[in-house]
Amino acid sequence: MEHALVTGGAGFIGSHLVDRLLGEGFRVTVVDNFDPFYNPAIKRNNIKLHLNNDNYQLIEASVCSLNDMRTQLSNKYDVIVHLVAKAGVRPSIQDPVGYQEVNVQGTQNLLELAKELGVKQFIFASSSSVYGINPNEPWHEDNHVLLPISPYASTKVSGELLGHVYSHLYGIRFIALRFFTVYGPRQRPDLAIHKFARLILKGEPIPIYGDGSSRRDYTYIDDIIRGVYSAMGYRSTHYEVINLGNNQTVGLMEMVQALEEVLGEKARLEFLPMQPGDVSRTYADVSKAKSLLGYEPSTDFKTGLKYFVEWLIDKDLCY
């Protein structure tokens, strides 16, 4: 039985990945500190079924303390999937030091742990934000000149580079997956689709930053999890950076209109200035993911949005 160590395994992406791993017969150890960036009860709700599984272990600890992890994480792991991060572009501008500590030092600590425990497979959750404002669309991993425009984005670039160092020095296979605007059931409440849906249902105005012309490459959670799972089994090279997106963009106003249709409610719009650190477009070239991982995003935006809204309305949530 393979044993996976998943950091951030109580969060949106992490809890979906744990669903998949337990279903595939893995032993799973999760490290999560239930950070209060959003209501920790939401994450407790995400994992309540996991706690009943004999192959699941939850360790409440911070990745910022290498000594704590050394004490509590002493098993043999076949793979580390490092999803923990302080999230969000705009909050990172208010707390750049905190983002550096968790996202960079925390990643360094996990790589040190991998080195000490002899873990040879390391999957790192990177972000489309590393591309900054990049006119070379769709964005391809060969765009080596990265000019991030937020502290959050810079920490993800740093994590990718740390991975290259440890891969080169210690033979750890490091796969950085650049996620593009992931959405679906359990999505964080601060992210646009979730936030807008709740505001529309309440009859409250939704904030539109800029002129509404921004576009995002929205990627459904099930597609992301298939990509992560494939990366866990990848063995061909020792260091790769790979986009996981949907290879198409959706405009902000298109997204709002689609939400209105699925919810059966009309949105009230409040136009606000463009926010520092935001980019106007994200657009993934996923040809590398297809070639190396067999990655094929299969959920179109409106179908994924329907699944999200069904979850939102059906669940008794803690938001």
Residues designated catalytic: 152
Q: Which amino acid is at 9?
A: G
Pick from 219, 197, 206: nearest CA to 319: 197
Write the single-letter amino acid at 42: I
Q: How far is CA 150 from CA 235, 236, 249, in A?
A: 33, 33, 22
Q: Report whether 71 contacts 42 (CB < 8 A).
A: no
**Contact call for residues 81 and 7 (beta carbons, < 8 A):** yes
Q: Assign 217 to helix, strand or coil.
A: coil
The sign of the CA dihedral 281, 296, 179, 131 is: negative
Distance CA 300, CA 222 (A): 11
